[in-house]
Structures are given as structure tokens and as C-alpha cells.
Amino acid sequence: MVFGSNPVDDKLKEGDKRTPEGLFKIQDLYPHPTWSKFLWLDYPTRESWQKHFQAKIAGKIHWRDRIGGEIGIHGVPKGADSLINEQSNWTWGCISLKNKDVDELYRVVQQGTEVEILP
């Protein structure tokens, strides 16, 4: 699996290309025209909002910065398994797997399944 293209540290704002860390739940699952399947996580959570506001208070991000959303687990464009093989962190913050792997995961999880993303 690979992560956002800026894989160091926790996601603090929209556009930082980091993957959020913490405990999330799958809120929806659906086929995706480019990445095989999409398992949509419930980011931002209450904890995500707390980290976001703490970063604003500490001056790590600007007060106008938004928290973002639409984070999930998905595949790769058809024929692009090399992104995973080469461990190329290419997403805007999502977790990406080979399509065969995300297809397998899609069959065994459901809405509400917990997902923990660790640093």
C-alpha cells in the first residue's frame, strides 16, 4: 500500500497531501471508474477536527485553511500496479492498494468497519 504524496506526519489540512492518522470507520463503499473500488472513510472525525484547530492555534497552518475530506482506500489506474510495487506515495491523502487487493478488501468489509491508520 501507499499513502499521500507527503507521507510524513498526520493530515492537518486540505491539500497537504498527507494521510490522516487515527481510528476511522468506513462510511461507504462503491465502484470507482478510475481506481477500481473506493472505501470512503469518515474523515474528518472529532479527533481530526481537534488536531486541525490545534494546528491553527499553534501557527502550523493558516486560520483560513480547510480540513478537507473525501479520504478513503482505493486502487490504482488500470495497469498502474507499479505505483504500489515501487512504493510511490502518489495520492492526495488516500491509501492506495493494487486493484486486486482493494477488490478483495471490498468483499470482506462493510459500512462501519473500523480502520486504524498508524504513523
CB distance 43 to 75 below 8 Å: no
Q: What is the pLDDT of residues 9-30, one digit of tens each?
A: 999 999 999 999 999 999 999 9
Would the pLDDT of 67 be above 90? yes
CATH topology of domain 22-117: L,D-transpeptidase catalytic domain-like (2.40.440)
For the chain, first and last CA: distance in Å?
14
Query: What pLDDT is attached to residue 7?
Result: 87
Q: What is the pLDDT of residues 43-56, one digit of tens each?
A: 999 999 999 999 99
Confidence of residue 8 (pLDDT cuts 50, 70, 90): confident
